[in-house]
Amino acid sequence: MTDPEAGRRSRRRPRQRVIPLEPVPAARMRWVFTLLCLGLIGLMGRMAWLQVMQSSALEARARSVQTQRTDPLGTRRPIVDRAGRLVALDEERFRLWAHPNNFRFPGDDPSVVRQPLDLARRLSGLLALPMADLVQRMGDRPSGIRLAEGLDPETASEVRRLGISGLDLEAYSHRVYPQGNLFANVVGFLNLEREPQAGLEQSRDRDLQRHEQSRSLRRGADGTPLPDNLSPGIFFGDDLRLQLTLDARLQELAAKALAAQVKEWSAKKGVAIVMDVRNGELLALASTPTYDPNRYWDFPPALFREWSVQDLYEPGSTFKPINLAIALQEKVIGPNDTVNDIGQLQIGGWPIFNHDKGANGVIDFATVLQVSSNVGMVQAMRNLEPLRYWQWLSKLGLESKPDTDLPGAVAGQLKTSQQFTTQPIEPATAAFGQGFSLTPLKLVQLHALLANGGRMVSPHITRGLRSGDGLARRNRTLGQPLIRPEVTRTVLAWMESVVEKGSGKGARTAGYRIGGKTGTAQKALNGVYVPGAKICSFVATLPIEDPRYVVLVVVDEPQGGNAYGSTVAVPVAKQIIDGLLVIEKIPPSGGRTAHQPARRPAVALDGAPASAG
């Protein structure tokens, strides 16, 4: 211990004095205690300030750091074709904002501000923009400059990797149509403000908007979400895709064939439609001319509507099989009846000719279709009371808006029942498909009705929304039956003969039984037929033994004297049919190619003379 030592040492001191050991004073220790207590009381005050007075402000501040809020980006669901090929999708793009008053490279002193030129030097390669452009864009403004737009995620991450302070990347969604103009006519497009402007994008806008909600989620600093104050469904994200019934390959094939033909005949426009007759699904709806939805601003807005759904035309001869089916259904003609085609009729003061003004004599209905005899049709339909005829046309929905998901579909035009019944010319012209008008889509629907045994199916191009990579199943709706199946079988047999030896010969395909009907209709403008203005069309049904598809090709105003349904529309339909047979893997129709052997040698194109049977 130190006591004795201290004692020893003190003896050596000059002043030999024993210093008494003073006890540690209690007062001093109380002072120390008081000091500690003051400190603790001070801390209580500090805690009261932090945890009572400032608590709500501090907690709010803490929560704002801890809580991550995500706002909806306004993304849209993708659109895919029937096989899942992408037709429209959202891509993440970036907008690059520059704030020159804050330009700093990584490692720079915080007080340094770089010149826009330094920045442009680093960025111009990445953004593929000339330096001068960038510098000019920045100008003298201190901040908030939109330097570049539409950067893809790779470029954006490279820009981010530069670590330059004063650059800001803003993510946004951009609609991309990878198939270009192929589906533009039905899918439509979004404008730069992401507002739907046409097609399905517009008509099914609500279905295409992705279900997004802004959500607040408290997280740990490493991003782990905390199960705290969560509302139900907060993690729900949808990966739904709108699936079309269209097939991109068939669509492309149809579009190419059609575009080539429209160009060759200098026609105004054309459309090719392929429908599955069993449920009304459209496999192709190709239209020309069309536009590229990725660059919609380069095209006239008139192209943004699909004319085959929105424009009316007089179908002409392609409507004759429908009329015959009506007459057979009403039993005013028999399957084996004949008519005497005398070449010319006078109805209500109006002359009616065959298109070649020739007479075909006594012919059966197969031949009427083969030679496309107007006079024969008028004589056949004369047996049907005009009111009954009008009622049938009305029942087939010529006047009503078709039940379809195609945007902007319009109803056809039919004379009033009073006009139809009091003026004999009306039922007479209707017999060969003139004097009323419909859309090509409606015509396809009516031919599908013949093909599927008399049921009215709704033409449509969407199958529905499906999650992830799932594909929607085929729609199995049965349409409303309107015509007896045996009637339709009879008409189909007649149509098959048209392809076998009539005006539709160009569509003949070895090994397959195909029915069809050509049409070459005059165009009317303000009630007057325009000379030389024709609409050439061809409608085909295949395979006849178990009809599954209707193919319609319509070409508007092909130029040239030889422009007929058989010359303009049939070759396009033939290409589409060839493609369809392969794409849909349709087996050949067994040995027989002709269901109803012709009694007479085959006739040539539309209107070639045939002698009476």
**Identity of the amino acid at 436:** F
Residue choice 14, 20, 139, 591 for contact with other proteins (CB under 8 A): 20
Question: 88-112 burial, b if ≥16 CB within 10 A, otherwise e?
Answer: bbbeebbbbbbbbeebbeeeeeeee
- Helices 116-127 and 131-138 cross at an angle (nearest 10°) of 130
Least Å from the CB of residue 161 to other proteins: 21
Report how far residue 414's alpha carbon sits from residue 503's, in angstroms, rounded to the nearest whole number: 28
- Nearest-approach distance from CB 213 to other proteins, in angstroms: 23
Handedness of CA 430, 434, 438, 441 (dihedral sign): positive
Supply the DSSP symbol for 458: P
What are the beta bridge partners of residue 244? 462
Task: Identify which range of 43-51, 96-104, 125-133, 392-400 contacts other proteins by CB under 8 A.
Answer: 43-51
Least Å distance between CB 7 and other proteins? 7
What count of other Cβ atoms lies within 10 Å of the Cβ of residue 56? Answer: 9
Q: Which is nearer to other proteins, 57 or 528 (CB)?
A: 57
Asked if residue 189 lies in contact with residue 293, where contact means CB atoms within 8 angstroms, the answer is yes
In the complex, the smallest distance separating the C-beta of residue 102 from other proteins, rounded to whole angstroms, is 15
Measured from the CB atom, the residue of 47 and 602 that comes closer to other proteins is 47
Two structure tokens written together for 357: 């003004």
CB 84 within 8 A of CB 469: yes
**Alpha helices (runs of H) in 209-319, residue ranges in sequence order:** 248-264, 307-310
Cβ of 115: how many Cβ atoms within 10 Å? 12
Residues 268-287 that bind other proteins (CB under 8 A): none
Tell me how many degrees the CA angle 278-281-282 measures, rounded to the nearest 5: 125
**Residue 510 lies near other proteins (rule: CB under 8 A):** no
DSSP class of 51: I
Binds other proteins (CB under 8 A): choice among 15, 16, 21, 107:
21
Q: How far is residue 322's CA from residue 384's CA, in Å, rounded to a whole number?
A: 14
Q: Which is nearer to other proteins, 166 or 516 (CB)?
A: 166
Question: Per 3-state DSSP, what percentage of the chain is helix, strand, and coil (rounded to 5)?
Answer: 40, 20, 40
Q: Identify the CA nearest to 446 among candidates 456, 460, 437, 434.
A: 456
Residue 563 token pair: 């422009």
Q: For residue 270, what are the contacts with CB-CB under 8 A and spacing of at least 6?
A: 258, 259, 261, 262, 287, 288, 553, 554, 555, 556, 572
Cβ nearer to other proteins, comparing 6 with 478: 6
What's the one-letter identity of residue 360? N
DSSP output for 389-406: HHHHHHHTTSSS-----S
Nearer to other proteins, 49 or 236 (CB): 49
Whole-number minimum distance, CB 43 to other proteins, in Å? 5
Residue 226 C-beta: closest distance to other proteins, Å:
7
Q: Between 1 and 525, whose beta carbon lies closer to other proteins?
A: 1
Among 50, 112, 117, 530, binds other proteins (CB under 8 A): 50
DSSP state of 302: G
Nearer to other proteins, 195 or 228 (CB): 228
Instruction: Work out how close the CB of 6 gets to other proteins at its nearest, in angstroms, rounded to a whole number.
Output: 5
- Does 13 bind other proteins (CB under 8 A)? Our answer is yes
Min dist. Cβ of residue 71 to other proteins (A): 22
Q: What is the size of the binding site for other proteins (CB under 8 A)?
A: 56
Binders of other proteins among 51-110, rule CB under 8 A? 51-52, 54-59, 61-63, 65-66
**Shortest CB 216 distance to other proteins, Å:** 13
| Total Cβ atoms within 10 A of residue 35 | 10
**Smallest separation (angstroms) from other proteins to the CB of 221:** 4
Q: What residues between 216 and 245 interact with other proteins by CB under 8 A?
A: 218-222, 224, 226
Helix axes 386-395, 320-329, angle to 10 degrees: 110
Residues designated catalytic: 317
Q: Which is nearer to other proteins, 32 or 510 (CB)?
A: 32
Q: Which stretch binds other proteins (CB under 8 A): 34-42, 175-183, 427-435, 533-541?
A: 34-42
Q: How far is the CB of 225 from other proteins (least distance, A)?
A: 11
Cβ atoms of 419 and 392 closer than 8 Å = no
Q: Whole-angstrom Cα distance, residue 169 to residue 163?
A: 12
Rounded to an integer, what is the distance from CA 586 to the centroid of its chain? 26
Q: Give the dihedral sign, CA 57/58/62/63.
A: negative
Element (H, E) at 158: helix 153-162
Given 14, 15, 26, 111, the residue binding other proteins (CB under 8 A): 26
Using the rule CB under 8 A, which residue among 14, 15, 40, 470 binds other proteins?
40
- Residues 200-219 touching other proteins, rule: CB under 8 A, are 218-219
Find the binder of other proteins among 14, 25, 232, 527 (CB under 8 A). Answer: 25
* Single-letter code of the amino acid located at 524: A
CA–CA gap between residue 131 and residue 87 (Å, rounded): 37
Q: What is the 3-state secondary structure (H, E, C) of 178-200?
A: CCHHHCHHHHCCECCCCCECCHH
- Which of 15, 32, 298, 527 binds other proteins (CB under 8 A)? It is 32
15 binds other proteins (CB under 8 A): no
Closest to other proteins by CB, 55 vs 115, is 55
| Segment interacting with other proteins (CB under 8 A) among 14-22, 274-282, 371-379, 520-528 | 14-22
User: Which residue, 13 or 592, has its beta carbon nearer to other proteins?
Assistant: 13
Nearer to other proteins, 3 or 140 (CB): 3
Site of interaction with other proteins (CB under 8 A): 1-3, 5-7, 9-10, 13, 19-26, 28-33, 35-37, 39-44, 46-48, 50-52, 54-59, 61-63, 65-66, 218-222, 224, 226
